[in-house]
Structure 1
């Protein structure tokens, strides 16, 4: 049974990405685009399933360089096209937790003219400093890759 986390720690990140808000937003929901950026360097996205509607599933499986399996099981809670995505976040890694808990991810997109987007990411309900630091490092690597994908589009 999954429990909602009550952890008080969070990661908040802001990035300006060269690309329109519609493209940056789509990169979080389009499986073909996710395959191009949604795995840290040295890893690969092995599976992706997205049902882009409120109540829909957003599921990914990343295989790390050692063959470890990292799964994110998410439910989409809110979608405002080119503006906002909110979803639950349940992570299962190579050593699964006995009772994985639910975190919360909010990504907001603000158009800065026609050619760039301010992305604000908030990943909440983290229990430990190690959780927070790992989440920050993971998102930092992913957002670097997202910038490359959007720039190449």
Structure 2
């Protein structure tokens, strides 16, 4: 089910990926897959630590233009093969983050002709942070990630 979107604070896009949703789910929930798609190339994921449960950690580190960036967060909702919600507003143990950026909502559904209807939503605390994320390249960045995810997941097909 699609959450109500607020055009002032939310960014979203939907795309059909030519891969079954159980594989898309696996890619998003198993640490060994995340480095293959999670940030637009040539940037790299250097570390992943996942504890897939509500309140569990979703921690990643990226190398972006020679700078390592750590992102620590928690899962807020986990519905197998359907919905994954995580945020950097908290770290494990429900410790508030000093400067949270967003909450991500990933929705997966079966596409009519096969594949997965993939919806990515970035929910922000303010219109200003939403605007900053859009100007940083939300659509291009998250679109690139979706393309990389699809390509990588196709390689996992039997």
Question: What is the rounded CA distance, in whole Å, between the counterparts of 1:84 and 1:133 in structure 2?
Answer: 26
Structure 2 runs not aligned, ≥5 long: 1-6, 90-97
Q: Distance in 2 between matches of 1:128 and 1:152?
A: 34
Question: Structure 1: any 5+ residue segments left out of the alignment?
Answer: 1-6, 91-98
C-alpha deviation, 1:128, in angstroms? 4.7
Residue 109 of structure 1 pairs with residue 99 of structure 2: no
CA distance in 2: counterparts of 1:8 and 1:69, whole angstroms: 31
Residue 152 of structure 2 corresponds to which residue in structure 1? 149
Equivalent-residue separation in structure 2 for 1:146 and 1:56 (angstroms): 23
Bigger share in strand: 1
TM-score, normalising length: structure 1: 0.81
The 8 Å contact of residues 83 and 109 in structure 1, kept in 2 or not, is answered as yes
CA-CA distance at 1:44 after TM superposition: 1.1
Alignment partners' CA distance in 1, 2:9 and 2:79: 26
Report 1:54-65 matches (<5 A): 54-64=54-64
Q: Equivalent residue for 2:92?
A: none
Corresponding residue number in structure 1 for 2:53: 53
- Which position in structure 2 is the counterpart of 1:129? 131
